[in-house]
Amino acid sequence: MSSTLSAATGEQEPGGAPSGFEADRTADSLGGTVRAYVDRVRGGDLGALPAILGILVLGLLFFALRPETFLTPRNMANLADQAAPIIILAMGLVFVLLLGEIDLSAGVVSGVCAAVMAKLLADAGAPWYVAVAAAMLTGVVIGLFTGSLVGLIGIPSFVVTLALFLGWQGFTLRLIGQGGTVPVRDDVITAISDKNLPVTLGWVLALLVAALYAGLQLNRWRVQRAKGLAHQPLAAVLLRVGVIALVVVLVTAVLSVDRAPAVGVVLAGIPYAIPLVVLLLLLLTFVLGRTAFGRHVYAVGGNAEAARRAGIDVTRIRVAVFVIGSTLAAISGIVAAARLGSVAPGSGGGNTLLYAVGAAVIGGTSLFGGRGRVRDAVLGGLVVAIIANGLGLLGTEAYLNFIITGGVLLLAASVDALARRRAAATGH
């Protein structure tokens, strides 16, 4: 949403975020900001606009078809639980895609890491924090292995991760056993999906997030204005802050309603999966947008040879993004195991990877590298989850879910390709 309301009239941060150093032109009114954004869209820089429109259109469509169930607090909580594993996995893939690479093994890596955690919990009786740490370490080691094959040896990522897609499935099968499952019954792990924040704490955190966002945006505007740098008009900043605050408050209000199906049982509050996703979003957004490492990722994705000549260690960046991707795959696997209550040999397989890649691309991350933001995973993940959730409420056949989701992904990839062509033609 922020990209929709941001005016970038000149130079931008990597990934399409306004840098505040636009210099040549700056919109001095809200109308000028809107016109500048329209110019960007016409120039092929769509940002997160397709994903935002997708969320709005799909939400209205399923609400019209199932008004009694779709926008209920209970279904909104279910939607958050369904989307969380895909969103987290897609966050890791954003880093890989920014380099123009691909990780076809990310989904099964999440299954391997979840299996390691589950085996330690069930068979070794390990505390939850030991099991989670082992799963995370497994993700780091796998990422180092994959990244070394791609970055150091120079094997194309498609070939490496396709081979590992098969290999890690065999590892999970060996660990769990044919036809077996490993239950996940630890209270802390299952609370990620089954439990909620106390309502009061949820409101405190929601207001804190809204206030923090407002403070950062207004302070940025104040600093840019004081130093004579190009900046957006205050009205545009206040409007963006207001929209974000409104979304946060509405989500919190809906999830604070008691959604228990039975009388005498209270089920209210924000599911723990949501603060986890928000925390990762803030952390990874800071890494990509406000650190030298993040800028190097964009530089390598934009032009690896130019980045190398500028003194950037391209090999290190390549290895690092695969480590980040596999680590987030481990977190995704943990969240998915918490939701399902078990880990099976097929965990992380099937369509998990396709949904995660689809989430990143639908959200606005380019398959060609050099353009994308972590928030793309959140927006695209919501689109994918809304499709699955809404079609489930309609009772449609499973094949329609696959066809529609695949069609949306193809449409998103087509929009990406056409936008790049338009941007090249117009010089944006």
Coil, helix or strand at residue 182? strand
pLDDT digits (tens, 9 = 90+) for 102-122: 999 999 999 999 999 999 998
Q: Which two tokens stand for residue 253?
A: 């209000």
Q: Is position 344 within any domain?
A: yes
Residue 248: both structure tokens together? 């946060």
The full DSSP string for 302-332 is H-HHHHHHTT--HHHHHHHHHHHHHHHHHHH
8 A C-beta contact, residue 259 and residue 72: yes
**What was the pLDDT predicted at 428?**
56
- What gap in Å lies between CA 274 and CA 195, rounded to an integer? 11
- DSSP string over 382-424: HHHHHHHHHHHHHT--HHHHHHHHHHHHHHHHHHHHHHHHHHH
Q: Which CATH number goes with the domain that contains 177?
A: 1.10.3470
Q: What is the pLDDT of residue 389?
A: 87
Q: What residues are paired with 182 via a beta bridge?
A: 343
Q: Write out the residue range of the structural domain in which residue 162 sits.
A: 47-195+271-423
Q: Which residue has the higher pLDDT, 112 or 21?
A: 112
| Of 221-230, 255-264, 307-316, minimum mean pLDDT range | 255-264
**Per-position DSSP letters for 61-85, written without gaps between them:** HHHHH-TTTTTSHHHHHHHHHHHHH
Q: Give me the pLDDT at residue 264, please.
A: 67
pLDDT of residue 19 exceeding 80: no
Residue 3 in this model has a pLDDT that exceeds 50: no
Would the pLDDT of 278 be above 50?
yes
Tell me whether residue 170 is in a domain: yes
Task: Please report whether residue 419 resides in a domain.
Answer: yes
pTM for the whole thing? 0.87
> 218 in a domain, yes or no?
no
Give the contacts of 399 (CB within 8 A, at least 6 positions apart).
none
Average pLDDT of the residues in 187-210: 91
Per-residue pLDDT tens for 299-355?
999 888 999 999 999 999 999 999 999 999 999 999 999 998 888 888 888 788 888
Q: Domains in the chain: how many in total?
A: 1
The model's confidence at residue 18, banded by pLDDT at 50, 70 and 90, is very low
Q: Please, is 217 exposed, middle or buried when counting C-beta atoms within 10 Å of its C-beta (0-12, 13-18, 19+)?
A: middle
pLDDT in tens, 157-198: 999 999 999 899 888 888 887 778 888 888 899 999 888 899
Contact 419, 50 (CB under 8 A): no
User: How long is the chain?
Assistant: 428
Query: Cα–Cα distance between 313 and 310 in angstroms, integer?
Result: 9
Examine residue 161 and state whether it is found in any structural domain, yes or no. Answer: yes
Please, what is the average pLDDT of the chain? 84
Tell me, yes or no, whether 377 lies in a domain.
yes
For 130-152, the pLDDT digits (tens) are 999 999 999 999 999 999 999 99
What are the angstrom distances between the C-alpha of 228 and each of 33, 110, 225, 289, 388?
18, 48, 5, 22, 48
Evaluate whether residue 209 is within a structural domain. no
Q: What is the reported pLDDT for 211? A: 92
Distance of alpha carbon 17 from alpha carbon 165, whole angstroms: 34
Is there a domain that residue 255 lies in?
Answer: no
* pLDDT tens figures, 349-392: 878 888 898 888 888 888 878 888 999 899 999 988 898 888 88
